Amino acid sequence: MNYGEIERQTFRAFLAFSGLVISALFVFFNITSNFYRISNILYNNESGLNISSIEKLYGTSIWLIDDNYFEIFYTDNPSVENITIKKELPSTLVVDVVSSEQIAYILDNRQSPPRTSILHKNMFIKETTDNNELVSIKITNGPVRDGFYEEVITFVMTLKKYSVNLSNVDLEFDGVKILVYHFNSKFDLGDATDLGRKASIIGYYLTESPCDGEVRIVYNEEGSEIRAVANCN
């Protein structure tokens, strides 16, 4: 029996065990130490936000904070696209809030008085009277089918690729078809589908070939391609 080898193996096992114990004690100390408990929370933007769920983190160990702590914050603030948390040791959280982009101003005339709201990129709709120089949508009749607002978001995001002042673009939906107005130009898009491709045609006309008149967007017989039929003055 090689007692020397047994002693070496025993010593190595002791060192490994001691390392685990020291590591565990280190983690325990950091988690329970008041030195690492959150005492300061900084925000890049908290205007109009419900931050009560984050304020409850005061006194929590900074080592325990992860994304799961902020699920309630998203629920309380549906206009928020994302938040990023930076830990500044020993006890400060820096909260970077990114709001969802405002896409369009909605004027719903199907009720009296009309309801006005803002459509955000993350599909959140907030009632407000502030237009914020956005694309406007007037709804005169309904119903508004599922997917309508997703189509509107695609329309606006596509039109953003062109040099167009979106505050001068007005949409009107009567429950069947959608019309777009830009000064002396009128675009008949037909039904409110495929608005991304239709927006590309509008973007071309507004930036490359202005038309004082009406442009109708139609499909071929197979329904796979679209083209513009212009009647310009």
Percent of the chain at pLDDT exceeding 90: 73
What is the pLDDT confidence band of residue 18, given thresholds at 50, 70 and 90?
Answer: low
Mean pLDDT along residues 128-147: 91
Mean pLDDT of 221-233: 89
Average of pLDDT values for 170-181?
97
From CA 57, how far away is CA 72, in angstroms rounded? 12
pLDDT of residue 15: 52
Q: What is the pLDDT of residue 12?
A: 63
Average pLDDT taken over every residue of the chain = 88
Mean pLDDT of 44-64: 90
Q: Where are the alpha helices (DSSP H) in the chain?
A: 3-32, 52-55, 71-76, 148-159, 195-207
Q: Give the domain ranges of the chain.
A: 33-99, 102-232
Q: What is the pTM of this model?
A: 0.82
pLDDT surpasses 70 at 117: yes
Mean pLDDT along residues 101-105: 96
pLDDT value of residue 17 = 56
- Cα of 164 vs its chain's centroid, Å: 22
* Reported confidence tier of residue 95, pLDDT bands at 50, 70, 90: very high
The answer to whether the bond into 114 is cis (omega within 30° of 0) is no
How far is the C-alpha of 106 from the C-alpha of 24, rounded, in Å?
57
- The 10 Å Cβ neighbour count of residue 59 is 10
Choose between 19 and 140: higher pLDDT: 140
What is the arithmetic mean of pLDDT over 125-143? 91
Eight-class DSSP state of 107: E
> Per the structure block, which two tokens stand in for 8?
């070496």
Q: Are 57 and 38 in contact (CB under 8 A)?
A: yes
Label residue 124 by pLDDT band (50, 70, 90): very high
Does residue 165 carry a pLDDT above 70?
yes
Q: Is the pLDDT of residue 1 over 60?
A: no
Can you name the CATH fold of 33-99? Answer: Ubiquitin-like (UB roll) (3.10.20)
User: Is pLDDT at 25 greater than 50 in this prediction?
Assistant: no
